[in-house]
Each structure stands twice: as C-alpha cells, then as structure tokens.
Structure 1
Amino acid sequence: MDRLTRLFNPRSIAVIGGGAWGAEVIRQCQKIGFAGDIWVVHPTKDDVAGHVPYRAIADLPAPPDAVFIGVNRHATVAAVQSLAAIGAGGAICFASGFSEAAHEVADGHDLQQALLVAAGNMPVIGPNCYGFLNYLDGVTLWPDQHGGLRVDSGVALIAQSSNVAINLTMQTRGLPLAYVATVGNQAQTGLSEIGKTLLSNPKVTALGLYLEGIDDLTGFVELAAAARRLGKPIVALKTGKSEQAQRAAISHTASLAGSDAGADALFDRLGIGRVSSLSAFLETLKLLHVVGPLGEATVASMSCSGGEASLMADMAQGRSISFPPLSASQQSDLRNTLGPIVALANPLDYHTFIWGNEDAMAATFSAMMSPDMALGVVILDFPRPDRCTAPAWGLVLNAVERAQAQTGRPIAVLSSLVENLPEDVAIDLVARGILPLCGMAEAVEAIAVAARVGKPKGEGLFVPPVVRPAKPLSEAEAKQVLQGYGLPVPRSAYISDINDLADAGRTVGFPVVLKGAGVAHKTEAGAVVVGIADQAALLRAAKTMPTETFLVEQMITDVIVELLVGVVLDPAHGYVLTLAAGGTWAEILEDSTSLILPVDAGGIKQALGELRIAPVLNGYRGASAVDIQAIIDAVLAVQSYVMAQTPIEIEINPLMCGPKGAVAADALITTGERHD
C-alpha cells in the first residue's frame, strides 16, 4: 500500500472547522452514502451538520484516515501538526494564502515551509484546493456541490484548478468518473504521485490531467512509466505559457520552442495524449474507458445523411484519421442490403431506405466493419425529448449492438451536436459496451488522440539537473566548443584590430564572410556581409559595421537550404530540441518541430520529414537533395555537448546544408551552472 491509499480510500473521516465549507463536506459524504465514521473537531460549537464536535484533534477516538481542514491558514498549520502527531492518514488543506499567494501576502512562503515541517511524513494535498471525490467507494472530501454519481469503474481526473474540476463533474456525456482530485499548489504532494495512486486501483481505466504546469519532471516521467506498465492511458489538457517562451529577444529557438512546444514534445515522448479543449478531453477519456486505445485511426463512418457524411470527412481533414475504401466483398454485402440507388463509399450515406428496419441496419453496420477498421461510427442525433418522440432511434442502437457483437469490432454512436445525445442514452450505451460520442469535432479529435496514446516516441528521457544561467559564449567560442563535439564549422579568424583583416582574409581564404563580433541579430544590425572576394572589399565592409572586433569566416557554398538547430532548457519539460527552417526565415515561416532529448538518428530523420521544407531537403522537382546524414550527425553533435555540459540554451542558425555536408555558420550558447 502506498502512502496515499489510506487518504483516498478512508474508513474514517474528520472535518476540522465548523464553517460552511466543512459542513458541506459532511453533507456531501452523507449524500453519497459514505459508510465509515465521520468526526468533527471544533472548540466551541455543539453541532456541525448534525454532528457533535470533539473539542480538539487529540480528543478524536482514533487517528482518522482522511481529514478535511477547513480553517484559516495559520490554524491549518497547527491542525496539520496535531494530525501528524496522532498518525492521521492524510489531510486536505482548503485554506489559501501560502506560496501560491506569495505576491499578495508577505509570509506566504514562510507559512508553506511551516506547513511542510508540521506535516512531516503525513500526506498533505493542497493548500488552496477543494480536495477529492471518490465515486468508487462513496468518499467526498469536497466542500461544494458536484455532479457525479457512484460508479463501479471509470476514469480518474486530476486538475490544477478546483473550479475546472467542479465543471468536469457536471458533464452529461455518460463518462463514468472514478475519482476527481484537485492538487492546489502541490506544497508536498504533487499530481504525479496522486496519479500513480489512482491508476493503481484496478477499477480505474484511464487518467485525465488538467495541467497548468508539471509538478516534477522526474515524478511525471515515473507516472507515465507506471501507466504504461498498467496498460492505462493518460490524456492531458495543458494550458499556460512559461517564461521560456518570452525570451525571443535572445534567440529564435526560445520563441519557437517555448513551453507549448516543449509540452507537445514531452507528451509525445511519454505516450501521453494531448487534447485541445475540455470537450475533447472528456470525449477522449470516454473512448479510452469504453474501447481502449486504438491501434490506428482507421474509421468506418455511417450515417443516413450525405451532409453528415461530408462533415465527418471534412472534420477529419488534417488529422491522422483515415477512411479505408470498401473492399469488393463489402460492396457486395452492402448492395444486397441497400439496393442499387445508394452510392457505396466510406464515409457511407446509407440513406433512409432502411430506417426503422433493425435487421437491415445491423447488416449494413456489420458489412462496414472490416478487420482493418479500428472503429465504426454511426452518426445519430436524437430529437429533443421535451418536444419530440424517438421510437425508431432505439432500433438504431440495437442494430449497433448486434453489429458490434457480430464483428467483434467497436462501433460508436456519435451525435453531431453535444446536446443531441441525451445523458440517459449515453449512460445506457456505456452499460451495453457501446461508445457514445458527443459532438463531431470533439469526437474526431478523440479518435485521433486515442490512436496515438500509449505509443511513446523513443526510450528514456534526459532529466536535466538544476541549472542556472552562467555566461553567454561569443560566436567564436561557441563554435570552438561545438567543434570539439564533432560539429563542422567554417575556417575562421577572430580579429580585434582592423589592421589585421588582410592577413585574416588570406589565412581563411577568399571568398569570406565578415561578421561583427558581439552583435546580436547581425543581419538586422548590418553586422554581416557575405561573399567578400578580396582584401579591399573586406576592409570596406568592416568600416561600415557597428563594432571594432570581427570574425572572418570561410564562405560556405553549394548550400541548398538553411536550418535552425536549437536546444532550450525548459525546466518543466527537459531539454527541448527544435529543428526549423533557418536563417532569416526561422520565425517568418514558422516551420518547426520539437523533440525531447535524447534523440536518435531515426527520430531526427523522422522530424526532418515533418517540416514543410522537407521536399526541398529531399530534392524538390529534380533538384539536388541535401546530405541528410550530415544533418543528423550535426544534431547528434549538438546533443552530445548539451548532455555533457548542460547549458541553458544553444542555437545553430543557420546550419548550412548542401549535397555534401552540413556546416554551422552561426552559433549561440548560454552556458549553465549546475546546482545539484
């Protein structure tokens, strides 16, 4: 048993405080049918929600398994200390005013530290959180209304926003919720540890995370690994931007990588499905609960409307979803059932000729479900129950159930609008083992995510140490360092006296490139001139630059394309590698892809193929292709430096790529100082 099991599955509950919040916790426990003991602690009141309080924590008849602390922040610290002393199983700290409010209250950090000392080894969730709902066992350490019901199995949700968590419990989509937990400011116990505890329950089928940030990268990686071992998928909805994304003044890489790209890369690496909205979050979790992860996103779409068939095809455009064409045997079976008028295709508009004929609909749905279909989708919108009747709609559901049983392939019932699938129907479908999907856009996203989830890209993850910025290296210094790790760089000479330019030009060999040393964004500052053919032109160019120190470099010729190769230390997600169209086009084209270190040759090659400029790399319309292996080797050289020296940031822009190699024409490094 891990240290949180007692807290999340208690046999006894204590409520500290007699205010409205604590009283509501008691009412909600009674409402859901909590079967254990409920004790209240209050120094003066004689009744709290029908319970006679104990005067002090020390007076409780036994150490409680779970405690809701609903008193002010200073009294919370004292209560935690008393609970830890008697061996309580854990506590929810409802009060705010700790580190999350450090800008508003001067003692916020100090009070949080006092809370941690008071807790010792006793688990504490929060502060500044609502607590949790356990719908499996009927436990509600929750000071407000919620919309859930007891279930036999379901998904677990963890949210970094208590209000979002409340809203999620109010869903009417038929998604069974096993747990809903909030984490507050995660002073002691983070979402990763909570996630591992909830996933360990065999009645939990999947985990949903509403994230504003990752509590601890090492713990998060362990959570993902635990989920894979258990075969239980994780879906994340992440919001928020880190300061990392605001450092565009330093480099292009920071603006391209940012927190959002880092999150995408991390989730892909760990096999966590990322969604874009709360609606898609719920629909994806529902799909995973009923069906499980999809091997691939191959779909058989069926509806009695050409409009719905077209919408389905359009919604899937740009995603990984495909609609495999019908085989000859499928077409033959469908023709026998649907007659000569219906155009046979996938998505299928089966018209209304068979509406109300359960046998014909079951035969049609079965014929569409070939073995290469990961999921069937029958589009069905129910009429309003307050104004209309729906006697024939149940026949469609029966036909879906029969076809699913006959083919052994999952078939979903999809309402094109969320409100067009009544909750009682959705709940009944889940009970029958049929997936109800609500909303076409949300459903399409859910299908695409369910086909990716649980498939990590690569093995292992480099969790960086604590690193603080040390110093920026000059371009010449950066290139020298990187050359030592195998990165090709141009021949060059650093000049601090303009009179030495002529000798430098001869040493490097014309034509050359002249750069003003120590100037950021050289092109914009007029501090770079390319293709200088002789000494006189070199001197003229130097006199126009806003600097007195220079870098004279070999002119790289036979260049097909320029790339950006950058790595940024994102404390929340690890080292984020960005590959992008480079040079002056880095931000204009916004053509980039990001990966989490470490990467291998195969991952780099795949990432290059995802860029919009990939056709140019591969030789567009008969043109020469670049040396892809040289690019891969250059990226691996950069990675070797990063993992050995743990800098804050490194950028190669541009990496000059031609048919016979790849050379770093410019380099930026901000070194890091370890604080292990």
Structure 2
Amino acid sequence: MTTKNSLSCLLNPRSVAIIGASNDPDRIGGKPISTMLATGYAGRIMPVNPNRREVQGLEAWPTVADLPEVPDVAVVAVPAEQVRGVIEQLAERRVPVAILFSAGFAEVGGAGVAMQDELVAIARRGGTRLLGPNSLGCVNLHTGFVGSFTTLARLDGVFPGNVAVISQSGAYGSHLVSSLVDAGVGLSGVVMTGNEADVSLADVVRLMVDDPNTGVIALYSEGIHDGDGLADALKAARAARKPVVMMKVGRSEVGSAAAQSHTASIAGNDAVVDAVLEELGVVRANTTEQMLDIVRLAGRGIFPAENTLGVVTLSGGAGVIISDAAEEYGLPMPEMPAAAQARMLERLPICSPRNPVDTTGQFLNDPTLVRPFLEMMLDEGGYRSIVAFFSYVATMPAVAPMLREQLTRARERFPDRLYVLVTRGAREAIREYEAAGFTVFEDPSRAVAAIAAMGRFGRAFAAAPAAPAPSVPAVTLPAQTPTEAQAKALLAEAGIASAPERSCATGDAAVLAAREIGFPVVMKILSPDILHKSEIGGVLLDVRDEAAVRAGFDTLLERARQAAPDARIEGVLVAKQLSGGVECIMGINRDPVFGPIAMFGLGGVFVEVLKDVVFHRCPFGEDVAEQMIRSIKGAPLLLGARGRPVADIPALARTLSRLSAFAAAAGPRLQSVDLNPVFAMPAGEGAYAADAVIEIRGEGA
C-alpha cells in the first residue's frame, strides 16, 4: 500500500489531481488526462479547473480545496505566476507529491531563483515533495500512470519492462526513451527531474532501487546538486544488484580560481566524476549509442564478475576486430583447451579452434556444427560471455530457423552466460533472436564494449566491503594558510610522516640544525605567503657543508625579498635530504559536488606531463589506497621494474589513507593539500612527505 507523504506515491499513486486541467487532449494540461485514459490507469483522475464542471468526460472541481479526497499526486500545469497559490493549497491539504510542469523559475535566474525557493519552503510546511519545476514529469509503464505532458507512453512499440529512465532534461530524456523504445527495450518508469528544487536525482534513484519493476537504471545528468545523496543512492543500487548506466554531460575543467593547488590543476570535474562513478560501480556512457547498448544487454540480468569472452565466427576478419576490441576494453579472451581444439579440428579440419573459433564458410553447408562447437566453448572453455558473428547469414530464411534452434539449445544448457549475436537483416528476424535470449548487435566492437560493461557491473556487485578508513585525531585548522612546517605538524598528528627537519630563524640556527640532521640537507624558504617555493628559487638541494648552509640561508632570504617583497618571512626550513626512494605525489582537492577528493601519482614527468594519476573520494581505508597505488600506469616503478628495489607499498598506502581521513576530518574550510614529493622508500623503510602545502579558507569564509 502506498504510504502517505512518501515519495513512493510518485510512481504508484492511487489518485491524481490535474491542476490546470484542459479539455483539449493536446494541451499541456490535457495530455496527462488523455494519455492515462488511453493507457488504462486504474487510479482516480481528478481534474481541477475553475471554469469547467467536466474535463474530457471526467467530473472536475474548481479548486484543490474542493477535491473529494487528498490525491497522492498533484500535477501542476498552470502559468508560473499562479504556481505559488496552487502550492499553498496543496500544502494545506498535505498532498504528498506535486509535479510542477510550470517553467520560469530558477532556470531563468534572477527573481526566478527566489520564487523557486519560496515554493519549496511553502511545500515543506505541508510535507509536500516537489518534482520540478520545469519538469516533464513522471510515467509508470506498469500501471499506466502518466504525470507528464509527453506522449512517450503512447509511442508505437512502447511496452512495460525493467528499465527506468531518470533524466534532468525533459527533452533529452524523451529522446532517450524514444531511442530505447525503437531498440525494443521495455520500460518500468520514466522521471524527468527538471530544476530539482526539491526532489533530486538521488531521490529518484532511491525510488527506482525500491521499485520491484525496475532492474536497470539509465541516468542522464547535466549537473549534480547533491553529491553525497547521489553517492548513497548509487551505493544502494549496487547493493540491490541494479546496474546504473549514467550519461553525465559537461566535461569542463576546474576553474582557474581553484587551481592554486597542484592537485586541483590536474583534477578536472570530469576526472572526479569518472573516479566517483567507478568507485560506486556505475558504468558511464559518453554517447546515447553507448547508453542504449549497455542498457539493452544489462536487461538480461547477467553480470559475470570473472568475465571472459569466447568468440565463434564465420569470418576471420570479424574475429580480429572483436579481439582488438576485447583488448581495448580489458576483456580476457583465453584460448580453448588443447583437447577441445583437437576435437574441433576432427569435426572441421579447416576451422581455426583457438579463440576466436573460426568455423569459416563451411558453416553455411552444415549449420549443425554451431551447437557442438558452442557447447565445447561454454563447457570446456568456460567462457562467461559469447559473441557469435554470422553477419547477414543468420537472418537468411534458409538458415535462420535451424541456426536459432542450434543456438537456443546451447543457451538452454548454460543459461547463466551472456549471449550476443552480431548480425543484420529483417527486423522480425532480429526480434526472434532477441526473444530466444540473444541480444543482437550490428557492430561487433559495440557488442564487446557492452559485454565488458557487464563484467564491470559483476565485479562491483561481487566486491567485498571496503575496509574502514582510519580514525585520526580531531583536526583544528589554523585561522590562515600555514607554513610548510606548520602544515607538516598538522599532518603528523594524523600519522603522516615527513623527513626530519628544523625551522630556523637565523643562519647559526640553520647550521646547527644541519649538523644535527646530518648532511646533505635541503633548505627551503619558510613563509605562509609563498606556497610554491621552487617557482621563486626558494629551494636548495644537496647542501653538503656548514659554509653552504650559511650561504644558502642568506641566498634564500634574498630571493624571497626580490620575488615577494610583501611576503611574511619566518626563516628557513632545513630538512634531511632523502635518497633511494621513488618520488610520488599525493594531494587533496575539495570538489564542489563530492567534497574532498584524494589524488595519487608518481612525481616528475608522470604527473606534470602524462598526468598518470588516480582519484578517490575521502575517506578510505588502506585497501582502497593500495588499489589506487597499483592502478596507475607507472606502478611497475614502485613494484621492482628493471631491477629497482620494491617500494614500501604498505607505508605508502597507510600515508594515503591517513591523508584521506585527515581531509574528511578537517571539514569544509580545507581547500587543498599537496604532498609533493612523497618519497616511497624501499620495502620496510617507510614513506615520507618531503614537502607539504595546505590551503584553507579563512575563518568565517
């Protein structure tokens, strides 16, 4: 039963009021009524129109106050200037959900923003949730409920299924729905969130996770307003084994104002989105074509965690194309066992039995070869996914019935595998293969990409829970950006080690510090106003004796005075010069949507030019930190490549994990952290930050 004041009413209302109802079935206020009458919606439809006693054959009421019962959902289709009064009436009657078609609010800026905020405040007083404004509404294909002025529920070929579409854009969402319908995909529900004044993408994802008719979620987003809420909703989808395919558009770089941090200059908004979606088990689609391909195959509900690809083909060229695509997407194609290859050669001496298994054109003379070959691949090869390339031959009337029978009998023996057929031909012939359990593609590379996505879902669903993030002491940030020495002291409280060092206000103190630390040393200018010291020559390396220390002290102060005459100079930092380790970079940047994001990579050219870095939301445990470290392309340099010593990966992971916990504990005033370089010493010798920059917002900012 639908619960009052619950968002579940949005998908499954027992009754719906149409405010601004029109007798014209083609007007915005008339389409929801005419479409629900056509779809057979079983709930009560209550038109509200002060000028009519009857709308499209249904009894109408002049105002919300006059309605004979409180509707579960109210559809608001009136001009913007009338919306406030309508929302007041809905809140007064405590209507659970209102869908606002009306435009002219936050999307137009200026006064529209204040008007929208006022609507939300009024609605909340009555416990009314708002979808929109500027929303195309909501459709439930299983019940026939249409709280939308789109005609998608009456498209030719539309039918109930298990794919939900959630879109911030009404027009593009409708385009996506139309494309899915053309592709023969059945839909469970469609929700267009519009301005998201109240109900967000996160809310609707949660709604679809709880919806028993939804098995796959297709998500289109132009901007994420509630990063934490969306992350929690996507986690719930993963826990429910409901795959989410997301098209997130708008691949802009982080603005220059946020790029004071070295980390921020590398991390773009899009890189962060990629990292967060991968963390949450979401597959990102960059085009509508990719979205359709992945959604279609996901509808089969088979997600192999240990995905391997077997290929049977009548074309050697197609086998090469598929193999190339499999390598590109990281999809393993192990060879058939030798014994199975020998038996294949006995049956067909001219075949190529390794994988791809090429039956050649002989298949045309004897289609009965397909089943035994395919069953050997499934049984002895153990492939979790199969691509069968038969081009147009598979739909030829003389071949199709027998081939379909051969393929079907093999599939019935191994129902837990993914089966993709690459062919083209008459639409009716394609539908017969689809009905028999084979997802059909025309392009073999697109087929492989979709199969690889199913493996990504499978691995996400099967993954063990991550280890908890480490606990760190409460972090109290200073009132203003700290010096390097102060930054390292803050980080040390969180368990992040740095090289031995001393802050020195005089040349004599610097000499004494170098003597105690041991030569050679590094010397750096110490100033809260000079964060990137190397840019002004504020770092001296390989300082080997006391005379060089004394001279270096004077040199650094003079360079600072010349480059930054107004900077506060607190002296010079003298630190032990580390050697024998691998230079890495770690950092934190506060993303406006997802909060603190950690970055890891190798130092030098790897970060400056190649940008071989990886990102993750904070905080996280040492297991995730180690996965990040091992995932970069340059990881072999840490793992003993070309005779190098193996780096202390556990210490490096511990440092990265603790940095993520520090960032989470520091709160929103923390803007960024740069540890560059971090020396990953040989195994058992630790990891040490040689430089640290922390940027913070001022008090009250």
TM-score w.r.t. length of structure 1: 0.89
Counterpart among 134, 142, 148 of residue 140 in structure 2? 134
Counterpart among 161, 164, 169 of residue 156 in structure 1? 164
- Aligned AA (1:111): Q
Q: Is the 8 A contact 1:567 1:575 kept in 2?
A: yes
- 1:31-83 deviations in whole A, cap 9, x for unaligned? 43334443322233677666674332233343333332111223122222223
Q: 1:470 to 1:276 in 2, by over 3 A?
A: farther
Name 1:55's counterpart in structure 2.
62
The answer to whether 1:515 aligns with 2:524 is yes
Name 2:322's counterpart in structure 1.
312
Q: Is the 8 A contact 2:307 2:332 kept in 1?
A: yes
The answer to whether 1:96 aligns with 2:103 is yes
Q: Is the 8 A contact 1:159 1:182 kept in 2?
A: yes
Q: 1:8 to 1:275 in 2, by over 3 A?
A: same
1:144 and 1:423 map into 2 onto residues whose CA distance is 27
Mean CA deviation greater in 467-476 or 513-522: 467-476
Give the SS at the match of 1:231: coil
- 1:476-503 deviations in whole A, cap 9, x for unaligned? 2101111222222233333456686555
Name 2:487's counterpart in structure 1.
478
Q: Is the 8 A contact 1:173 1:438 kept in 2?
A: no
1:73 and 1:461 map into 2 onto residues whose CA distance is 48
Counterpart among 414, 430, 439 of residue 435 in structure 1? 439
Name 1:166's counterpart in structure 2.
174
- Aligned AA (1:494): S
The answer to whether 1:106 aligns with 2:84 is no
2:576 and 2:691 map into 1 onto residues whose CA distance is 12
- Aligned AA (2:11): F
- Residue 562 of structure 1: how far off its partner (Å): 0.9
Name 1:653's counterpart in structure 2.
676
- Residue 471 of structure 1: how far off its partner (Å): 3.5
Q: 1:585 to 1:201 in 2, by over 3 A?
A: closer
1:463 and 1:56 map into 2 onto residues whose CA distance is 57
2:438 and 2:190 map into 1 onto residues whose CA distance is 24
1:374 and 1:354 map into 2 onto residues whose CA distance is 23
- Aligned AA (1:270): L
- 1:104-139 deviations in whole A, cap 9, x for unaligned? x32423433334423531232111110122111222
1:468 and 1:193 map into 2 onto residues whose CA distance is 34
Counterpart among 507, 514, 526 of residue 537 in structure 2? 526
The answer to whether 1:268 aligns with 2:278 is yes
* Matches for 1:290-439 after TM superposition, within 5 Å: 290-337=300-347, 339-355=348-364, 357-370=366-379, 372-382=382-392, 390-415=397-422, 420=424, 424-425=428-429, 427-437=431-441, 439=443
Counterpart among 547, 550, 553 of residue 574 in structure 2? 553
Give the SS at the match of 1:355: helix
- Residue 313 of structure 1: how far off its partner (Å): 0.8
- Residue 504 of structure 1: how far off its partner (Å): 5.1
- Aligned AA (2:72): D
1:585 and 1:469 map into 2 onto residues whose CA distance is 33
Give the SS at the match of 2:28: helix
Name 2:244's counterpart in structure 1.
234
1:183 and 1:139 map into 2 onto residues whose CA distance is 17
- Residue 333 of structure 1: how far off its partner (Å): 4.1
Q: Is the 8 A contact 1:357 1:395 kept in 2?
A: no
Name 1:22's counterpart in structure 2.
29
Counterpart among 587, 590, 598 of residue 577 in structure 1? 598
Counterpart among 156, 177, 180 of residue 187 in structure 2? 177
Paired positions, count: 665
2:610 and 2:464 map into 1 onto residues whose CA distance is 26
Give the SS at the match of 1:22: coil
Q: Is the 8 A contact 2:335 2:354 kept in 1?
A: yes
Q: Is the 8 A contact 2:469 2:621 kept in 1?
A: no
Mean CA deviation greater in 212-221 or 67-76: 212-221
- Residue 296 of structure 1: how far off its partner (Å): 2.1
2:256 and 2:465 map into 1 onto residues whose CA distance is 29
Q: Is the 8 A contact 2:500 2:575 kept in 1?
A: yes
Q: 1:276 to 1:242 in 2, by over 3 A?
A: closer
- 1:589-639 deviations in whole A, cap 9, x for unaligned? 211112233333332222212222212112221122222233223223323
Counterpart among 443, 447, 452 of residue 448 in structure 1? 452
Give the SS at the match of 1:554: strand
Counterpart among 123, 130, 137 of residue 118 in structure 1? 123
Q: 1:382 to 1:144 in 2, by over 3 A?
A: farther
Structure 2: unaligned runs, 5 residues or longer: none
2:653 and 2:47 map into 1 onto residues whose CA distance is 64
Q: 1:136 to 1:185 in 2, by over 3 A?
A: same
1:65 and 1:468 map into 2 onto residues whose CA distance is 48
Q: 1:128 to 1:297 in 2, by over 3 A?
A: same
CA RMSD of aligned residues (A): 3.3
2:613 and 2:213 map into 1 onto residues whose CA distance is 41
Higher relative contact order (CA 8 A, sep 6+): 1
The answer to whether 1:487 aligns with 2:493 is no
Q: Is the 8 A contact 2:302 2:416 kept in 1?
A: no
1:632 and 1:461 map into 2 onto residues whose CA distance is 14
- Residue 377 of structure 1: how far off its partner (Å): 1.4
- Residue 470 of structure 1: how far off its partner (Å): 6.3
Name 1:10's counterpart in structure 2.
13
- Aligned AA (2:87): V
Structure 1: unaligned runs, 5 residues or longer: none
2:96 and 2:442 map into 1 onto residues whose CA distance is 40
- Aligned AA (1:581): L
- Residue 412 of structure 1: how far off its partner (Å): 2.4
- Residue 243 of structure 1: how far off its partner (Å): 7.5
* Matches for 1:197-216 after TM superposition, within 5 Å: 197-216=207-226
The answer to whether 1:662 aligns with 2:667 is no
Mean CA deviation greater in 560-569 or 209-218: 209-218
- Aligned AA (2:689): A
Give the SS at the match of 1:34: coil
- Residue 658 of structure 1: how far off its partner (Å): 2.5
Q: Is the 8 A contact 2:585 2:602 kept in 1?
A: yes
Give the SS at the match of 1:363: helix
- Aligned AA (1:71): V
- Aligned AA (1:128): N
- 1:293-326 deviations in whole A, cap 9, x for unaligned? 2222211112211121111111122322111211
Give the SS at the match of 1:529: strand
Q: 1:421 to 1:90 in 2, by over 3 A?
A: farther
- Aligned AA (2:151): Q
Q: Is the 8 A contact 2:246 2:282 kept in 1?
A: yes
2:15 and 2:677 map into 1 onto residues whose CA distance is 63
- Aligned AA (2:117): Q
Q: 1:502 to 1:530 in 2, by over 3 A?
A: same
Q: 1:258 to 1:571 in 2, by over 3 A?
A: same
TM-score w.r.t. length of structure 2: 0.86
